[in-house]
Amino acid sequence: MAGTASPPPLPPWGNALAGATGAVLANAIVYPLDIVKTRLQVQVKRKKTDHEPLTTNDAHYTSSLDAIRKILEDEGITGLYSGINGSLLSVTSTNFAYFYWYSTVRSLYLSSQTVPRPPGTAMELSMGAVAGAIAQIFTIPVSVITTRQQTQQKGDKKGLLDTGREVIHSDDGWTGLWRGLKASLVLVVNPAITYGAYQRLRELLFPGKANLRPWESFFLGAMSKALATIATQPLIVAKVGLQSRPPPARQGRPFRNFIEVMSYIVEHEGPLALFKGLAPQITKGIIVQGLLMMTKERMEILFIVLFAYLRRVRDSKLQQMANAAAVRAKEVVPLVVK
């Protein structure tokens, strides 16, 4: 008896659509945590000897809960969703580009092998880094605008387009939309570590299992994201500092690179401040990555079923057209013979 044929794999754009859909749903759920971690990461503790505030916001937050409480008191519930439109646009474009290029690069790698076998950890990380770098180059302007929106004060709130114009009309000009690109390119190791660790943990904990249960996908996604976040947190903090407005103490002078941001933070707060906002960053990352991988697995199954249905419809129509052509041929043949 012939075995049941396994469904064909999704094309790169199918994987990209599944990944982007999962990312949007996950990030929309935990967006307030994104606001909190950004506000915590841009603030710098003020010393008694400082004449100017060192943060872009008047309020100073002592913890994640304190940040949530003060944002609610000062800006209301909408304050926890400042810049959500730009953020979800950034998430959609970044994840679509990432999963598209990751699937493309991975497919090319597998097709180039004489004996197909899963890539090793180093190759997984390399493919993830290449995909992440390509995605960042095209999507970082939206990330810059979103970071600006998240750190705007109550009386200075602007929409996505107005914030973009503000960035363009600054000293940096159009290049301001790509502020933090170098840090972002270095940070491609974050999704590379995340997705690489996810694949390796999946092979170790659930070998040979084609479809994971929701809790299994969530667990693997959470574990892999926590590892990646801890390893790259100083660069994440530096990137946020580059993309936000410069602190008033710098008198409008923007940071030139992420090394300067990190030096500024260490000078005023000490080296441990490079990990500020780690708690909400990890919490957000774990929830988002867990939901992303869980949702992506479900979406991939949904798209596979949808594509299989569309293929059946297409094959059925092709068969009908072939039958109709055969009938017409039979009608024409006798006339030709006569």
Q: Give the pLDDT score at 74.
A: 87
Q: Give the pLDDT score at 330.
A: 66
Q: Give the pLDDT score at 303.
A: 67
Q: Give the pLDDT score at 4.
A: 45
Q: Are 294 and 214 in contact (CB under 8 A)?
A: yes
CA distances to 106, 207, 256 from 241, in Å: 33, 41, 10
Query: Going residue by residue through the chain (338 aa), what tens digit of pLDDT does each one get?
Result: 444 445 556 666 777 777 777 778 888 888 898 888 888 888 876 555 555 545 555 677 888 889 899 989 888 888 888 888 888 888 888 878 877 887 788 778 878 777 667 777 677 777 777 887 888 888 888 888 888 888 777 767 788 888 888 888 887 788 888 888 888 887 877 766 777 788 888 888 888 887 788 788 878 877 888 888 888 888 888 888 888 877 777 777 788 888 888 888 888 888 888 888 888 888 887 787 667 767 766 766 776 777 677 777 777 777 777 777 777 766 655 544 44
Non-local CB neighbours of 185 within 8 Å, separated by 6+ positions: 133, 136, 137
Q: Give the pLDDT score at 47.
A: 58
Q: Give the pLDDT score at 338.
A: 47
CA distances to 239, 270, 294 from 289, in Å: 20, 30, 8
Which pTM was predicted? 0.63
Closest CA to 9 of 91, 114, 115, 116: 116
